């Protein structure tokens, strides 16, 4: 997979998710096999650039190339300026958000709300492509509503404007995240465009990945909600697509080590106090489905300091590992 001059390891992408795909998460996902991890969206409004939230979202220190930054907004001139601003600060790919269904984004006529105004879409894409020399990519949904799926027209506008890759989530703006993703629209867009098309939506397992690729003919896959707490999903999908064989799941020891590494990255980026708060959701996602995971999640949510949080996570996984070892010993003795 290539985007401009950038050659990616594979065609597996981390979907940009606000509050999730910060630098520590992106680094983990890349280490586990993702070809590209797009940043959390950053607003195009210049008065927001110096906020703490924006500065943290624009922190790419130590991040492997290529660095892809997603921008959001509805004004072509501001979007062009935001693209230049981010390229000047290290972005090597600019991604445009026209897929977010969140009300606070759509209420300012950004994200997937833009899909209802194809002329404005064209002006934004042309302005951003003309503003920077790096590749520009686009994330969309299949349309404003199930009765108005216009992804193919948006795709043609994007291709004509010079956008180099299109990612499509298989739901409309009106659908939010309800129901099942549909892939027929993605398949139609892929069959009609020359630029790469990436399929997104309800890809939770390696088998899902293969099925969606076969169903859509897409050039790659974008993984979103299945990745938090499971960054190794990229390793599992990459292996399955190339070999047809399922990898063994990670051991308890590996899961615990990955989570501790993630927590250390969160504390380093946000500081101990905010990092402890941000870490709670990642702890919850990671221990979901593990023995006594829900009980531990509730306990961990009450911890106030980074040091105590680390100790609790370490202790939890040590107890799981000891229990697993005891179980193995009992089976061997039987």
CATH of the domain at 306: 1.10.1200
pLDDT at residue number 59:
85
Half-sphere exposure of 70 toward its Cβ, with a 13 Å CA cutoff? 26
Residues contacting 274, CB < 8 A, separation 6+: none
Residues 97 and 194 in one domain: yes
Residues 182 and 238 in one domain: yes
Minimum mean pLDDT range among 171-175, 209-213, 215-219:
171-175
Residues 275 and 237 in one domain: no
64-79 pLDDT, tens per residue?
999 999 999 999 999 9
- Mean pLDDT, the chain, as a whole number? 93
Residues 283 and 227 in one domain: no
Overall number of domains in the chain: 2
Q: Does residue 5 surpass a pLDDT of 50? A: yes
Residues 106 and 182 in one domain: yes
Residues 199 and 229 in one domain: yes
Residues 25 and 128 in one domain: yes
Residues 230 and 308 in one domain: no
- Nearest-angstrom CA–CA distance, 76 and 94: 14
141-156 pLDDT, tens per residue?
999 988 999 999 999 9
Minimum mean pLDDT range among 54-58, 156-160, 178-182, 235-239:
54-58
Residues 163 and 259 in one domain: no
pLDDT at residue number 107:
47
Residues labelled as active-site residues? 100
Residue 224, domain extent: 2-243
More confident residue, 267 or 175: 267
Residues 256 and 292 in one domain: yes
Residues 262 and 137 in one domain: no
Terminal CA-CA length for the chain: 51
Q: Which of 226, 243, 260 is the last residue of a domain?
A: 243
234-282 pLDDT, tens per residue?
999 999 999 999 999 999 999 999 999 999 999 999 999 999 999 999 9
Q: Which of 243, 263, 287 is the last residue of a domain?
A: 243
Q: Which of 243, 264, 291 is the last residue of a domain?
A: 243
Residues 226 and 308 in one domain: no
More confident residue, 333 or 152: 152
């Amino acid at each position: 997979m290539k985007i401009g001059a950038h050659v990616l390891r594979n065609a597996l992408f981390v979907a940009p998710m606000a509050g999730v795909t910060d630098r520590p998460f992106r680094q983990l996902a890349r280490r586990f096999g993702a070809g590209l991890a797009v940043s959390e969206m950053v607003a195009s409004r210049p008065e927001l650039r110096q906020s703490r939230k924006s500065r943290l979202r624009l922190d790419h220190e130590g991040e492997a190339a290529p660095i892809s930054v997603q921008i959001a907004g509805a004004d072509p001139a501001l979007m062009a300026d935001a693209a230049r601003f981010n390229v000047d600060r290290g972005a090597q790919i600019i991604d445009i958000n026209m897929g977010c269904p969140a009300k606070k984004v759509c209420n300012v006529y950004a994200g997937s709300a833009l899909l209802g105004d194809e002329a404005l879409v064209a002006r934004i894409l042309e302005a951003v492509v003309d503003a920077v020399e790096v590749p520009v990519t686009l994330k969309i949904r299949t349309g404003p509503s199930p009765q108005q799926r216009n992804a193919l027209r948006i795709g043609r506008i994007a291709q004509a404007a010079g956008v180099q890759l299109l990612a499509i989530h298989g739901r409309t703006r009106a659908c939010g995240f309800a129901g099942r993703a549909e892939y027929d629209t993605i398949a139609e867009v892929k069959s009609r465009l020359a630029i790469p098309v990436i399929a997104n939506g309800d890809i939770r397992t390696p088998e899902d990945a293969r099925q969606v690729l076969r169903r859509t003919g897409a050039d790659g896959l974008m993984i979103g909600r299945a990745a938090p707490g499971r960054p190794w999903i990229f390793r599992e999908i990459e292996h399955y697509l190339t070999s047809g064989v399922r990898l063994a799941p990670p051991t308890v020891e590996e899961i615990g080590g990955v989570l501790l590494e993630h927590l250390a990255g969160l504390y380093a980026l946000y500081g101990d106090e905010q990092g402890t708060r941000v870490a709670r959701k990642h702890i919850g996602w990671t221990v979901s489905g593990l023995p006594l995971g829900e009980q531990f999640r509730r306990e961990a949510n009450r911890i106030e300091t980074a040091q105590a949080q680390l100790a609790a996570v370490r202790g939890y996984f040590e107890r799981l590992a000891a229990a697993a070892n005891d179980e193995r010993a009992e089976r061997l003795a039987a």
